[in-house]
């Protein structure tokens, strides 16, 4: 005789009574990976650090990086956060959602065969010893090290005509793809090669709609005007 579970006063037979097979152990498929394995980052190098996140080298894949929320830095005494963020269920991880949405929207609008060509591509989320992480493409230089930011490139070689043209074309691409680039800074753009070996400028941070009223996400015209203005301001500072 089988046991009966009760939900809202209604008797429900167990799965076996409905012809469903209950597995005591999940079978492993040949060649299957472990997508829900918890990656240990305790001995992994931190490649970069921002105001709220640390960026780790992926422990098993050299073409990827993992962005992790640094809770201690966010909770520092005296640090101010917008009032509405206190009501977000995802808390500081809201930035992951913003970046994933922007990545999807940008990729769809570009319709490029090789995928997104304006930002470091997103591979998904992963469980780690440091918490939930966002897995992103690692943009590198000719030696295979992390690619320099646009700010670093200009500091080393100046803002010459060739680089000016490259930056201008990059921003025109952002405008055309309706990318919401919130924190327009030369520190959030890198110059290097993606995992496919394509050389160019790439967004690595500062993108995704974060406004309480997402006006720039609603209007491509307003977003384009803002991006053009921010580009001109940034170009003047780099000159």
pTM to 2 decimal places: 0.80
Name the nearest CA neighbour of 139 among 203, 75, 186, 95: 203
Give the SS3 label for residue 109: helix
Q: What's the CA gap between 193 and 205, in Å, rounded?
A: 16
Q: What's the CA gap between 104 and 30, in Å, rounded?
A: 31
Residues of the chain with pLDDT under 70: 1-33, 72-91
Residue 17's pLDDT is what?
57
**C-beta neighbour count of 163 within 10 angstroms:** 17
Predicted confidence (pLDDT) per residue in 163-184, tens digit? 999 999 999 999 999 999 999 9
E-only strand ranges, 102-144: 122-128, 131-137
Half-sphere exposure of 128 (CA within 13 A, CB side): 27
Residue 25's pLDDT is what?
63
Give the list of residues 6+ apart from residue 55 with CB closer than 8 angstroms, or none. 46, 47, 48, 49, 65, 66, 67, 68
Residue 32's pLDDT is what?
53
Residue 83's pLDDT is what?
53
Residue 2's pLDDT is what?
47
DSSP string computed for 62-90: TTEEEEEE-HHHHT-TT----GGGGG-TT
Residue 109's pLDDT is what?
82
């Amino acid at each position: 005789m089988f046991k009966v579970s009760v939900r809202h006063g209604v008797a429900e037979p167990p799965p076996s009574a409905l012809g469903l097979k209950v597995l005591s152990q999940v079978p492993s498929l040949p060649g299957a990976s472990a997508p829900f394995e918890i990656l240990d980052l305790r001995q992994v190098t931190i490649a970069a650090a921002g105001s709220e996140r640390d960026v780790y080298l992926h422990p098993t894949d050299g073409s990827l990086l993992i962005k992790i929320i640094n809770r201690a830095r966010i909770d520092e005494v005296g640090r101010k956060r917008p009032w509405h963020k206190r009501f977000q269920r995802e808390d500081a991880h809201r930035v992951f959602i913003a970046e994933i949405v922007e990545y999807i929207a940008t990729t769809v609008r570009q319709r490029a065969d090789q995928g997104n060509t304006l930002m470091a591509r997103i591979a998904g989320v992963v469980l780690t010893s440091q918490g939930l992480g966002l897995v992103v493409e690692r943009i590198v230089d000719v030696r295979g090290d992390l690619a320099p930011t646009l700010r670093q490139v200009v500091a080393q070689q100046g803002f010459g005509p060739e680089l000016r043209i490259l930056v201008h074309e990059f921003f025109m691409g952002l405008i055309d793809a309706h990318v919401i680039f919130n924190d327009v800074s030369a520190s959030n753009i890198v110059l290097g090669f993606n995992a496919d070996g394509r050389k160019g400028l790439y967004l690595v941070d500062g993108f995704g709609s974060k406004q309480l009223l997402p006006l720039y996400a609603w209007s491509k015209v307003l977003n384009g005007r803002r991006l053009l203005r921010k580009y001109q301001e940034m170009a003047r500072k780099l000159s």
